[in-house]
Chain A
Amino acid sequence: MIPSYGPRAHADHPPFSYAAYRSTAKRSPGLGLVRIVQTLSEVTGPGPIWSECAVEDTDLTTNAGTGTPAIGQRSIVTGRVVDENGAPVPGTLVEVWQADASGRYAHPREVDFPAPRDPNFLGVGQCKTDAEGVYCFTTVKPGPYPWGNHPNAWRPAHIHFSVLGPALTTRLVTQMYFPDDPLLGLDPILEAVPTHARGRLVARYDHTVTSPHWALGYRFDVVLRGAAATPGERVP
């Protein structure tokens, strides 16, 4: 049986063009998207085979392999990957990348600003979800960093997430933010998300995840597109 997926919920996603995030002006489709019927090409995708081949790498505080742990607020980031019907997405690869505690990226083209780079932090990890869709990383909380979008622009602390999911249709790249960050309301990339859906990108502090004498815990669930509801069927 070939699956079919419910529609992309455009009202929940940012628009392609958003004036306050300036570089979207020239990098967004000028004409509308062309709606097509899903075929085998869209309901298959690289998720299953790519996840199968991947090796887990879940501790960003040590995976630089220098023998010295990264500096910063040690944090456990966990959550579930589910589809919009609430079904877990098991065995799928979650890939993350982020700045170090000072807000510096281990990337040759990063924004150069006078903050110390942590030589013991690569800022990358990957994890496969378990049977319940659960993933878990140990990392340090990234720092905010300045960018050139507007005067005195700073990105709030965030972790980039990439999830392939079961099909091309479920492909998702997003960013996780931290609660109580004063920069959240000042960031055009987050503000581009419609108000009602913005909170879905902000992790919750979860004291049951916090590990005594070790690390603070954050919970961030990811919701992918799910199976299309058959007409007349009640989705649980």
Chain B
Amino acid sequence: MRPAGQTPFQTVGPYYSMRLSGPGQNVVAAKEVANRVRIEGCVLDGDGKPIEDALLETWQANEKGRYRHPADDRAEVPLAAGFTGFGRAGVTPATGEFWFETIKPGRVPAPDGSLQAPHICVVVQGRGMLAATFTRLYFPDEASANEQDFVLSQVPAARRPTLVAVTVPGRSPPAYRFDIRFQGPRETVFFDF
């Protein structure tokens, strides 16, 4: 029987960490993995204040551009042992910051046959958010790939910079800052797909 329709979203609320963000879930690539990068940032509300109880989830391909998922059956692109591509991080209430340690993903195909620029899918939830929002993080050192990207091309040009992380100078492993803004002149682009 066909059900009545989609189950509506509800807010994840302030207590999601009881279940949804265990220690280490923001370490997507283990310490011994080469080419690790760090992603860090804040989720900012309409007043530009860091949201202290936001939850972020990330989904990405491995370094070669393969997703660990049955729908990505490209056997010619190898999987990486131990790499799921999934991360979860709650914002640290005291600092308002989140961070992930991962690797920069490879390029994955787009429906038009092109290769997408390296990107990480990001899901944002929190108290005061009645439904999840979906965005993407792109890398600042991929200007030409970003220029051609299948998804960025669907975003008004003036808003594309909100999806590109910023290099934090002088850090090893390399660090990128990705602040997510709900409102204001630099509001992050959130997707409907």
Contact = CB atoms under 8 A, between A and B. Distances in A.
A84 interface: yes
A179 interface: no
Contacts of B17: 107
A8 B134 CA distance: 12
A44 B151 contact: no
Contacts of B34: none
Interface string A1-36: 011000111101111101001011111111101111
- Give the interface residue-count category, chain B: 35 or more
Interface string A207-236: 000000000000001111100000000011
B19 A162 contact: yes
A63 to B, nearest CB: 12
B151 A168 contact: no
A35 to B, nearest CB: 5
B190 A34 contact: yes
Q: Is the interface of A mostly helix, strand, loop or mixed?
A: loop
Contacts of A153: none
B123 A168 contact: yes
A64 interface: no
A35 B53 CA distance: 27
B141 interface: no
Interface in B133-162: 133-134, 136, 150-151, 154-156, 159
Given A95-B19, A200-B7, A42 B130 contact: no
Given A13-B9, A53-B84, A34 B116 contact: no
A41 B6 contact: no
Contacts of A171: 57, 123, 132
A193 B9 CA distance: 8
B69 interface: yes
A115 interface: no
B87 to A, nearest CB: 9
A27 B119 contact: no
B155 to A, nearest CB: 5
A82 interface: yes
8 contacts: A24-B130, A28-B129, A38-B193, A39-B111, A41-B119, A43-B71, A167-B69, A168-B121
Interface of B: 1-20, 45-47, 51, 53, 57, 59, 61, 67-72, 84-86, 93, 108-111, 116, 119, 121, 123, 125-134, 136, 150-151, 154-156, 159, 182-184, 187, 189-193
Interface of A: 2-3, 7-10, 12-16, 18, 21, 23-31, 33-46, 48-50, 53, 82, 84-86, 95-97, 105-107, 109-110, 122-126, 160, 162, 166-169, 171-175, 189-190, 192-194, 197-198, 200-201, 221-225, 235-236
Given A33-B133, A200-B4, A201-B8, 20 more contacts: A21-B11, A26-B183, A27-B127, A28-B128, A35-B154, A36-B192, A36-B193, A39-B150, A53-B84, A86-B1, A86-B2, A105-B15, A107-B17, A109-B15, A109-B93, A192-B130, A193-B8, A200-B5, A224-B7, A236-B2
